[in-house]
Amino acid sequence: MKPFYEKTIHTKPIFQGRMISLQVDEVELPNGQTSTREVVKHPGAVAVMPFTTDGRMVVVRQFRKPLEKEIYEIPAGKLEKGEDPASCALRELEEETGFAAESLQLVTSFYTSPGFADELLYIFEATGLTQGKVHPDEDEFVEAQLISLEEGLELMAAEQIHDAKTVFALMYWQNKRLKAQLGK
Ligand SMILES: [Mg+2]
């Protein structure tokens, strides 16, 4: 198999923010020609699928500026430098929803937008939830809500669940239920 590697000839830093940086890389293509790639560097993030014992999942409603709309998402947050993804997941869950989890399991990880960003997202399943107090970041306005799978699918159809990690969570949940019904 022929590798499709793109060698970086030059990196031009454009912007360094609190969370992300943007750079434009000049690259040599596999056919020898050159092109440019606009790349966002991101520290990585975690998301949690918190399942309650009565068969519901915790989502948070929040306004997303890039989309100019409110959506429902599973709790998530970016990794601090050197932070362990599991402890970050427990922290974000508690901050945004007030729930503490007894058990946390890594389900998978995926790149959210490989076309322009290196953000890697770890997704955990949290169970054994106990309700405590919410304490979101100063500039974070979120509201936790418990939804059934059916309500989640309705929210997705209405484009109120409209991001990749939460759509993944619904598909994971649907699959989990199907397996339980089939006794697997
Ligand atoms: Mg968050």
Please indicate, yes or no, whether residues 14 and 37 belong to a single structural domain of this protein.
yes
**In a domain? residue 15:** yes
Long-range contacts of 155-160 (CB under 8 A, 24+ apart): 155/72, 160/70, 160/71, 160/72
Across 120-125, average pLDDT: 98
Please indicate, yes or no, whether residues 63 and 140 belong to a single structural domain of this protein.
yes
Tell me the whole-structure pTM to 2 decimals.
Answer: 0.94
User: pLDDT band at 9, cuts 50/70/90?
Assistant: very high
Distance 76 CA to ligand 1 centre (A): 5
Across 166-174, average pLDDT: 98
Strand 7-16 relative to strand 120-131: parallel, antiparallel, unpaired? unpaired
Contact 173, 57 (CB under 8 A): yes
Please indicate, yes or no, whether residues 34 and 50 belong to a single structural domain of this protein.
no
Please indicate, yes or no, whether residues 79 and 120 belong to a single structural domain of this protein.
yes
**In a domain? residue 34:** yes
The predicted pLDDT at position 68 comes to 98
- Mark residue 165 as left, alpha or beta (left: phi above 0; alpha: psi -120 to 50; beta: remaining): alpha
The pair of structure tokens assigned to 121 is 């997202």
Catalytic residue chosen out of the listed positions 68, 138, 150, 159: 138
22-63: per-residue pLDDT in tens?
Answer: 999 999 999 999 999 999 999 999 999 999 999 999 999 999
**In a domain? residue 1:** no
**In a domain? residue 73:** yes
Domain residues for 67? 45-181
User: pLDDT band at 73, cuts 50/70/90?
Assistant: very high
The predicted pLDDT at position 138 comes to 83
Distance 176 CA to ligand 1 centre (A): 25
Please indicate, yes or no, whether residues 25 and 63 belong to a single structural domain of this protein.
no
CATH number of residue 90's parent domain: 3.90.79.10
Active-site annotation holds for 138: yes
User: pLDDT band at 136, cuts 50/70/90?
Assistant: confident
- Mark residue 55 as left, alpha or beta (left: phi above 0; alpha: psi -120 to 50; beta: remaining): left
Number of domains making up the chain: 2
**In a domain? residue 2:** no
Please indicate, yes or no, whether residues 82 and 170 belong to a single structural domain of this protein.
yes
Distance 182 CA to ligand 1 centre (A): 35
Q: What percent of the chain has pLDDT over 70?
A: 100
